[in-house]
Amino acid sequence: MQLKNKKILVGISGSIAAYKAAHLVRLFVKNGAQVKVVLTPNATGFVTPLTLSTLSKNPVHSVLFNSETGEWTNHVELALWADLMLIAPLSASTLSKMADGQSDNLLLTTYLSAKCPVIVAPAMDLDMYKHPSVLANLQKLRDNGNQVIPAEKGELASGLDGEGRMAEPEHILEFVKDFFAGTQTWAGKKVLITAGPTYEPIDPVRYIGNRSSGKMGIHLADTLAARGAEVVLVCGPSRIRQEYDSIQRIDVETAVQMFEAVTARAADMDCIICAAAVADYGVENPATQKIKKDGQIPEIKLVKNPDILAWCGANRKKGTIVAGFALETDNEEENARKKLEKKQADLIVLNSLNDPGAGFESDTNKITIFGKEERRADFPLAPKNKIAELIVNTLEKWFIQ
């Protein structure tokens, strides 16, 4: 299952080779990928949405705006969902619109919004494929960072024989597998991630905690495991499970337990990311028996917990990247930058509780990343799995490449 957990958005444009895209979708699904399909209006004449939704096990989208229902398809969401957008077959017409930055259908708007890599597999008649304008458009796509799977030789729909057939689905599958194998940018690297809340016991049934679900940190763990890292996840109480079996998960409850789990392993790590919402204070002497309500109102004395991120910043081995989060409610940028400095981190991810859909519990987040020397990267609201990718992309860009 080389494509397990990979999210592939297949774009199909109007070409007779569209029938082969149905087989390709099946191959991707058989290899463990999650597949969604976008068709151009012309493609629906060659292959039906029903066939593709049955094979992909997902709804298929072909219109940007449905005038009957008044609904529109969120192309930004589709593009953000994907790890890879593959346009196969790519017709000469869609190619020229892509090269030109046009956006008059759903496939094109999705392409323009894609933050993931894009691979195209052209299909057209042999003379069209050789035409200087087509060659120039393909080059333009390459220059824009897209990858092209060259068309193959053989019998064409026109009856002519030559180069222009869309690469066979099995060949496209191999190309895509190789592509994902090449994304193992963290192979050989060890990463430790803290996630979730901590619970500070008051007595055997009560605790001081917070609303962190663990989602953000666990998505980071999955993203790094997908890119080949050896990941240790030190996780406070959370019901969320990681997708990758390769992740070593250490479940802890209190800040002190989290601190011990991290400090015991930090020396081995190439990168440490503190995404946990660690309680700053614990209870000095938690009661050993349940506190009864008929006694005196209890006084709970709090004690300061160790700061895990600050410890990692101060005690890292040479070359270890240390990243943290800042969850703010006011003076966001100023506070985030202060944390970057005070905790000696290389990077701080700011999420603000003032941004709707950001922070605790939600499936989305909105972040700004700060680094030393005034480095800064802003990102729009996106699902937390995508945010995790954007954070890892930034780590790669700033520290690894």
Active site residues: 210
**Does the footprint of ligand PMT cover residue 278 (CB under 6 A)?**
yes
Both structure tokens of 248: 């070593």
Q: Which of 359, 368, 383, 385 binds ligand PMT (CB under 6 A)?
A: 359
> CA 371, CA 381: separation in Å to the nearest integer?
20
Q: Compute the least distance from the CB of residue 57 to ligand PMT, in Å.
A: 27
What letter represents residue 255's amino acid? A
Q: Which of 175, 179, 244, 360 binds ligand PMT (CB under 6 A)?
A: 360
Q: Which residues of 175-191 are buried (b: 16+ CB within 10 A; e: fewer)?
A: bbbebbeeeebbeebbb
In whole angstroms, how far apart are CA 275 and each of 39, 128, 220, 228, 299? 39, 52, 9, 20, 31
DSSP H/E element including 289: none
**Does the footprint of ligand PMT cover residue 282 (CB under 6 A)?**
no
Cβ neighbours, 10 Å, residue 143:
9
Between 125 and 270, CB nearer to ligand PMT: 270
Q: Compute the least distance from the CB of residue 114 to ligand PMT, in Å.
A: 25
Q: Compute the least distance from the CB of residue 278 to ligand PMT, in Å.
A: 4
What is the residue-wise DSSP string for 324-372?
Answer: EEEEESSSHHHHHHHHHHHTT-SEEEEEETTSTT-SSS-SEE-EEEEES
Return the residues of window 176-195 that contact ligand PMT according to CB under 6 A. Answer: 194
Cβ neighbours, 10 Å, residue 56:
21
Between 122 and 359, CB nearer to ligand PMT: 359
Residues 6+ apart with CB under 8 A from 76: 113
Q: HSE of 159 in the Cβ direction (CA atoms, 13 Å)?
A: 0
Give me the residues paired with residue 36 across strands: 9
**Does the footprint of ligand PMT cover residue 236 (CB under 6 A)?**
no
**Does the footprint of ligand PMT cover residue 137 (CB under 6 A)?**
no
**Does the footprint of ligand PMT cover residue 42 (CB under 6 A)?**
no
Q: Which residues of 250-269 are buried (b: 16+ CB within 10 A; e: fewer)?
A: bebbbbbbbbbbbeebbeeb
Between 60 and 309, CB nearer to ligand PMT: 309
**Does the footprint of ligand PMT cover residue 327 (CB under 6 A)?**
yes
Return the residues of window 303-322 that contact ligand PMT according to CB under 6 A. Answer: 305, 307-309
**Does the footprint of ligand PMT cover residue 351 (CB under 6 A)?**
yes
Q: Which of 14, 164, 214, 313 binds ligand PMT (CB under 6 A)?
A: 214
Backbone angles phi, psi at 119, to 5 degrees: -120, 140
Across the beta sheet with 190-195, what order do the strands follow? 248-251, 230-235, 190-195, 271-274, 321-328, 347-352, 367-371, 376-378
Q: Compute the least distance from the CB of residue 335 to ligand PMT, in Å.
A: 8
Of the listed pieces 32-40, 54-62, 200-208, 213-221, which binds ligand PMT according to CB under 6 A? 213-221
Q: Which string of x and - marks every residue 331-350 that binds ligand PMT (by CB under 6 A)?
A: --------x-----------
Q: Which string of x and - marks every residue 89-118 that binds ligand PMT (by CB under 6 A)?
A: ------------------------------
Q: Using CB under 6 A as the criterion, which residues of the chain lie in contact with ligand PMT when the complex forms?
A: 194, 196, 212-216, 255, 274-278, 280, 305, 307-309, 324-327, 339, 351, 359-361, 384
